[in-house]
Structure 1
Amino acid sequence: SGLLGLCPDAERVERFLRDEARRKPAQALVLMQMQAASHRMLSAAEIRAMSGVTDATVRALVDAGLLVRAEPGATASPRPAPVPNPHQRLAIDAVSDAIHGHRAQPFLLFGVTGSGKTEVYLRCATEALAAGRQVLYLVPEIALATQAIAQLRDRFGDRVAILHSDLPATERLENWRKIHDGECPVVVGARSALFAPLSRIGLIVVDEEHESSYKQETTPRYHAKRLALRLGEIHGCPVVLGSATPSVESFWEAEQGRLTLLSLPERAAESARLPEVEVVDLGAGYRSGRPGLFSEELLAALSETLRRGEQAILFLNRRAYAPFLLCRDCGHSFVCPDCAVSLALSVRERRLRCHHCGHSEPPPDACPSCGGRRVRPFGAGTEKVEEAVRATFPQARVARLDRDVAQRRNALDEILASFRAGDLDVLVGTQMVAKGLDFPNVTLVGVVAADVSLNLPDFRASERTFQLLLQVAGRAGRGSKPGRVVVQTLNPGHPAVTAAAEHDYLSLYENLKSEREAVRYPPFARLVNVLVTSEDASLAREVSAKAACLLRGVPAATVLGPADCALERIQRRYRRHVLVKLPPEARPTGVREALQGLEAPAAVQVTVDVDPYSMV
């Protein structure tokens, strides 16, 4: 029959799981998930989908006798779906009514972390498929959506196709064909999956709708959320935007009645509670002469977590070892020759690297300016945090997960599989560890520095910091064990920090709404960012000034600038911008028409970005 089940000798399985020298993380993960699946019979494809492992892993377990083939005639046991709680049931019913009524109704599913939003999506997808229609399920980043994909495949089997730009061309073409031919009525992917050849969509899901990665920043520029809503209108189907931390714009649209608000105010698992959050003032430690990466509170919490055999996540949204090098004698700093940014130090690679253009060079033995030898790293990145954890807790098994690590083939899957299997005690990472991961044994989340994104020159800085803090805090206490979060910050009274500590989205929303209304920022205005770049700084200044003059003629427009961008030089090009504010319902055609009169030399590039997400 091709079905596989867990070896009936439970003690043999347990001995294998305890033997760290013999087993591999992926093998342990499969066995533990089969145990959690109540010893069901599954096909090899279903096991691969459920655990995100390779066929070689499944074969190795069969060869070892830990997975056994079912008797001829056996059939796969369907995984019992969780019973929806009353809040989930209301949401499922509302969306299902729109599916069966062929209504283009947009919903905002606002649910705390761990509230079971995915189960709502899956139930609604089942309704759409039962009605003979298709499902489009968007995720912000495919690399971080392995658990969601596994759940979709567990529920819908080989009817699920994955589409994203990193797939090999042959596999992408094959998946495209299956979608076009109707073999795969469920499509999951990042923003580019919007262009899948689906002809009868019955449901569109935009998971983690607040994520900035839904905005395509290069040509053709678009926001996946706007396109998804338009696609829903074309196909006459509901669109569900889901998040524990909705964007201010989306929640405001729900208040205005443009989106139907559905709430999941509590965690789905009866034993799971939102974690307690403790805010630690790093400034107090500095003032008392106790500077360091970890406060006494975080060290004590880490020590206790490790003593109990539980797991911890340490979050710092800055990769590398240190963000810059500085000469202690003359103050010389090391800057990218092509960009106006400091070079970050990677101790492991022994390189200084620019995270914007990729330039790298070896760290110097002496200062090139004064010849001094006191060249020191300043600040901290995930590499330094990993080093500090290993030094403080030498018995702890520690791994790091950030963009630098994830570039290595299979590194992301292997690290997450090891952590899920219990082979790691502490996972250090950037925002990659903050999103969509569900590890029941994680009881502590430590935010090493909450201020990294708080002081960026961007009107969304407070909102993004709050979203990141709440999302990473939501990784703690998702199972039966209570969770705890320690947030280290130099701004303990900042509204984004205090709201995150209280799990209070609404208070921050009201605060940000008032601020934005006062200065006319979204959702109380529509923004258009006109970016002018050139390798010649004077040309960039000249053309941006002309653009600003033309744009001041646009009806009802407020024009700010021109001004240097916060990142004023990237890849040898100087960057200036003009920001245009329009009324919320205005179409940006006036901006385009005004700029048709702009004469720019070939050496100057002018880019118009409607509804920009990056302001730096």
Structure 2
Amino acid sequence: MSNQEFFVSVAVDIPVRTLFTYKTEFFVQPGQRVLVPFGNRKLVGWIIGYAEDKGTYDYKKILKVYDDYSLIPEYLIDLAREISDMCFCSIGSVLSAFSGKFSKNKINYNIPASQQFNTPENEGKPTVHRILKSISDTGKKIALVRFYDIKDKMNFFQDISESINGSIVFIFSTVIQAEKVFSALQNVYGERVVYFSSEYGKKEKTLCWLRMLKGKNLIIIGTRTALFSPVSDIKMLIVDEPSEYGHKQRQSPRYNSREIALKISEMRNVPVLFTTLQPDVTDVFLCKTGKSIAFESTISSEFPRVIISKLEKNWQSSILTDISKHLLEKTLVQGKKVILIHNIKGYARIILCKKCGASIVCQECGGILTPVSEDYAFCGTDKRFFKIPSKCPVCKKRNLSIRQPGIKKIVDTLRNIYPGFTISVASENQPVEGLSQIIVGTQHLISYIVDIMPGLLIFINADMIAARTAFRSEERFFLIVEKIKKMMPGNENFIVIQTGNPGIDVYGDLSRNDEEMFYKRELSIREQLKFPPFGELISIQFSGRNWLKNKDSILEELKKSGDIYESEIKKKATEVLWKVQERKTSFKILQMILEKYRITNFTVDPTPYF
């Protein structure tokens, strides 16, 4: 401690997008954590840098310094600034997202000896050789690597780890996938492999962070939090299946792994590989526009046949179509297993008559409608909305209700039909029973397909995934089916898509194995509509007195910069989807609007469609 006072900028985890100036007699550095007075509270903050004393305010003093040295390296502070602008959030919320749960106690950490590593020749590793040579020759840092076999992808992870002299970071969408790769690579590379998880306790997480902060030549594996690894000698970043749901942070800061990986590549000049069994529309767009180099693995396989099977109006009573029943019985007789996938959690809704069991169908094509509100339903085939009738069109009774046939009912029905077969349910909280012949669950089951090795997979009602009104619903279903094909290779296997709307375009693409048509159509539609990746679609949720008072004026100002789609999400709260051409400029406009009308109750999601 000295008698000299310093003035520093501190970030705290609050929604306000500003830094706060404090004074201190301690000699501090950017990246250290401190305790500061904030109104009537005391908050943990992060030193961002030194500030000037403007002589106009009596600055409060820092109460405590937690760290003896910078816990957050300068490049992560710079990244936090960038994410603050990208996601319209405070720098403090970004820093808190990956370091807010560190231990505040001083922890002794002995630095292990650095492991010497010489880069081997890439003979016998054709995919790795092509990628590294292309990156070296072209100077491009972004690559898409596509695999046709899940085992080939696992082998690639081992080969690329062996071929990088320095640290490499792997980002996975789920803990299950991260743990599988961690276990596989640890068996080969031992202590060089670090697993970084947001689920660790404070002490364990802090020790892991210190190991990355002070170590070199590491293989770091984790979910999206591992993007913020403090390792100093990073030489490559790999994001696996970048389109999957787990790569999106649902609370502020609402980032996704792909955007952050691209920003890290730009800031630190390191290559980023996006590995996938099936590229999404954004992957294809990046390749077509020359921003990414595309590679395919040299191994290909024969894949299951995809069959489209039409659901009858009373499908809830039998669950399976005739084709599905035939294939299920044939598969079980052959000694193979069957998986039935129900729906995306929380979205499987249909309109049923409680009296006669009839479903409400499209007036034009006869397909089953998906309710989007209490009054309206949507047809995925005709892309039209219809008002939900007050009476059942079959029995004329006022017994309509929006329901979803639950998994329990599905299992009970199957057990009545097939009493001689073992049937089990799997969920996030209920593990897969390996000895069962028929396994029923939601999309959670997809992570276990390689372990189960089914001969048949049935989507009970694919419309509940593909025919929703949400942006990207057809794309999501396309990716799900194509990835499943790579997980259960063999043309003797089958995937059955049960649907009330067999005319939906994506079903035809899948049955014809025509991915080129799917990507061409999706890119064309999005370009016409200026939807991502050709534009930006931003979600803003407003509430509070000032919002209600100035709602019309705020909406008019937002319309000057883009199209808006307004919907009331609950009483006195509104969600606005703002379609704009470019995010950075639009956020500056939004900031001015919020300040002008003194709006403090709001949340922003820059990629709500993810």
| TM-score (norm: length of structure 1) | 0.65
Distance 2:481 2:579 in 1: 31
1:384 aligns with 2:409: yes
CA contact (8 A) 2:458 2:497 kept: yes
RMSD between superposed Cα atoms in Å: 3.6
Cα 1:186–1:544 change in 2 (3 A) is: farther
Q: Distance in 1 between matches of 2:253 and 2:128?
A: 35
Aligned partner of 1:293 among 290, 299, 319? 319
**Equivalent residue runs for 1:77-476 within 5 Å:** 89-97=125-133, 105-112=141-148, 114=150, 116-128=152-164, 131=165, 133-182=166-215, 185-264=218-297, 267=300, 272-282=301-311, 285-286=312-313, 292-319=318-345, 328=354, 378-402=403-427, 406-407=428-429, 411-412=430-431, 415=432, 418-419=433-434, 423-435=435-447, 437-439=449-451, 441-476=453-488
Name the counterpart of 1:25.
Answer: none
Determine the C-alpha separation between the residues in 2 that align with 1:84 and 1:375.
65
Which sections of structure 1, spanning at least 5 residues, go unmatched? 1-82, 332-339, 343-371
Three-state SS of the structure 1 residue aligned to 2:450 is: coil
Deviation string 1:329-374 (CA, Å, 9 cap, x unpaired) is: 799xxxxxxxx989xxxxxxxxxxxxxxxxxxxxxxxxxxxxx9x9
For the residues of structure 2 that align with 1:155 and 1:504, how far apart are their CA atoms? 39
Report the CA distance between 1:163 and its aligned residue.
1.8
Return the letter of the residue paired with 2:307: E
Residue 575 of structure 2 corresponds to which residue in structure 1?
Answer: 576
- Do 2:541 and 2:573's aligned partners in 1 also have CA atoms closer than 8 Å? no
Write the letter of the residue equivalent to 1:564: S
- TM-superposition CA deviations, 1:385-432 (whole Å, max 9, x none): 333333322333333223xxx24xxx44xx2xx42xxx2222212111
Residue 455 of structure 2 aligns to a residue whose secondary structure is: strand
Distance in 2, Cα, partners of 1:559 & 1:117: 41
Structure 2, unpaired ranges of 5+: 1-121, 358-371, 375-396
Given residue 599 of structure 1, which amino acid in structure 2 is its aligned partner? Y
* Per-residue Cα deviation, 1:293-332 (whole angstroms, up to 9, x for no partner): 111111121112211211121111245998699894799x
Residue aligned with 2:155, SS: helix
In the alignment, the residues of structure 1 paired with residue 506 and residue 527 of structure 2 have an alpha-carbon distance, to the nearest angstrom, of 18
CA displacement 1:160-186 (0-9 Å, x = unmatched): 222222223333223223323327811
User: 1:218 Cα shift?
Assistant: 1.7
Alpha-carbon deviation of 1:100?
7.3
Match among 559, 563, 566 for residue 563 of structure 2:
559
* Cα shift at 1:449: 0.9
Identity %: 20
1:549 to 543, 550, 556: 556
Deviation at 1:504, TM superposition (A): 3.1
Q: Is the 8 A contact 2:349 2:464 kept in 1?
A: no
One-letter amino acid of the counterpart of residue 575, structure 2: R
In 2, Cα distance between equivalents of 1:435 and 1:545 = 46
2: distance between equivalents of 1:273 and 1:159? 36
- Which amino acid letter does the alignment assign opposite residue 427 of structure 1? I
Instruction: Please give the alpha-carbon distance, in whole angstroms, between the structure 1 residues aligned to 2:574 and 2:228.
Output: 32
Partner Cα separation in structure 2 for residue 322 and residue 514 of structure 1: 29
Q: What are the superposed Cα offsets for residues 194-245 of structure 1, whole Å, 9 maximum, x if unpaired?
A: 1122111112111011113322232112221111122223333221112233
Indicate if the aligned counterparts of 1:445 and 1:475 stay in contact, CA closer than 8 A: no
Please state if 1:528 is matched with 2:527: no
Task: Give the aligned partner of residue 597 of structure 2.
Answer: 599
Secondary structure of 2:451's aligned partner:
coil
CA contact (8 A) 1:99 1:202 kept: no
Structure 1: distance between partners of 2:285 and 2:176:
30
Matches of 1:321 and 1:398, distance apart in 2: 24
Is the contact between residue 115 and residue 265 of structure 1 (CA under 8 Å) also seen in structure 2?
no
Deviation per residue, 1:229-278 (Å, 9 max, x gap): 222233332211122332212211111110001123753xxxx5211111
- 1:240 counterpart SS class: strand
TM superposition shift of 1:470: 2.3
2:494 alignment partner, one of 459, 484, 493: 484
Contact persistence 1:276–1:485 (CA under 8 A) = yes
Partner residue in 2 for 1:590: 588
Is this contact kept in 2: 1:440–1:477, CA < 8 A? no
Q: Do 2:319 and 2:460's aligned partners in 1 also have CA atoms closer than 8 Å? A: yes
Equivalenced residue count is: 453
SS in 2 for 1:434: helix
Equivalent-residue separation in structure 2 for 1:120 and 1:97 (angstroms): 16
1:531 deviation in Å? 1.9
- Which letter does structure 1 place at the counterpart of 2:156? V
Counterpart CA distance in 1 for 2:202 and 2:411 is 36
Structure 1, 236-245 or 317-326: larger mean CA deviation: 317-326
Change (3 A) 1:312 1:221: same
Separation (CA, whole Å) in 2 of partners of 1:487 and 1:525: 32
Aligned to 1:610: 606
Residue 521 of structure 2 is aligned to residue 511 of structure 1: yes
CA contact (8 A) 1:386 1:428 kept: yes
Alignment-mate amino acid for residue 308 of structure 2: V
